[in-house]
Amino acid sequence: MTQRIEHHACFGGWQDVYQHRSEVLDCDMRVGVYYPPQVAHGPCPVLYWLSGLTCTEQNFITKAGAQRYAAEHGIILVAPDTSPRGEGVPDADGYDLGQGAGFYVNATQAPWSRNFRMYDYIVDELPAWVESDPAASSVRAISGHSMGGHGALMIALRNPGRYRSVSAFSPIVAPSQVPWGEKAFSAYLGERSEAWKTYDTVELIAGDLSERLPLKIDQGEADEFLDAQLQPQRLAESCAARNHPLDLKLRSGYDHSYYFIQSFIGEHVAYHAKAMA
């Protein structure tokens, strides 16, 4: 069952929020969907946005300012919540595990494995739900921020041919090597194993990929998490070693916030629009 719970006119289109039942996550999920004015003339391509730790579907749709650019280019924006939620869904103390911190993996460990299957939700169930609407075409791109940047890069690399383009802001590029990822992967996936590498962008680049999808990344040099959690140099080194196309821009003065995302989201939407044209 799907219920529209918000409906706002925005740049000639509509910013909606829906609640729908996820069988994969065994809970109700909320998703922000922006429909540009061009949907009146036929199906539009879809840009999926994956948000970071602590976020819901609201952060991107209220803070990024992406709708004006989506309206300009005729792109549907889809911004799901970052984890399963609700009564009976497991949680943990702290912001970096449990609800609001799904990390876009399929959990294999109790108590997380029943609900925390965000990888399957983003890759399969959510696009099927989105594309059941005649307004949406099957042409897709994916982007995200921080934990969501990790999700976008990892999912695009693991699913050749599914996405026309991928980009990220301040992504966690090597989650198996930094504290945020080590905590989440230990809880969701168990002791360090080969499974960790399958959700790690740097490890995926180092492997044998059948598709060399270019990576577009913006990273603020004043980001408080740069050295401890994000470490973009790891990705730069991995891409250089494998000759994988990478456009990494280090932005002087910018931090980890949505002020940073606002400043460059127009470039990212235009990038995806060109790829999906």
Cα separations in angstroms, 205 against 64, 90, 174, 250:
29, 32, 11, 20
Structure tokens, 208? 């044998």
DSSP annotation of 162 reads T
Tell me whether residue 146 is one of the annotated catalytic residues: yes
Q: What is the largest CA-CA distance in the chain?
A: 51
- Which segments of 51-90 are extended strands (E)? 76-80
Tokens of residue 8, six digits = 């706002």
Nearest to 96 by CA among 55, 60, 58: 55
Residue 274: how many CB atoms within 10 A of its CB?
Answer: 11
Name the active-site residue from 165, 167, 223, 272.
223
Q: Nearest 10 degrees: CA dihedral of 126, 202, 98, 25?
A: 20
d(CA 209, CA 214): 12
Our answer to whether residue 256 is catalytic in this structure is yes
Cα–Cα distance between 54 and 230 in angstroms, integer?
17
In the numeric block, the tokens 């039942």 are attached to 21
Asked, as a colleague might, if the bond just before 214 is cis with ω within 30 of 0, I would say no
- Choosing from 22, 83, 146, 238, which is the catalytic residue? 146
For 2-29, b/e burial (b = at least 16 CB within 10 A) is eeeebeeebbebbbbbbbbebebbebbb
User: Using CA atoms, how far apart are residues 201 and 206, in angstroms rounded to an integer?
Assistant: 9
Could you confirm whether 208 is annotated as catalytic?
no
Catalytic amino acids? 146, 223, 256
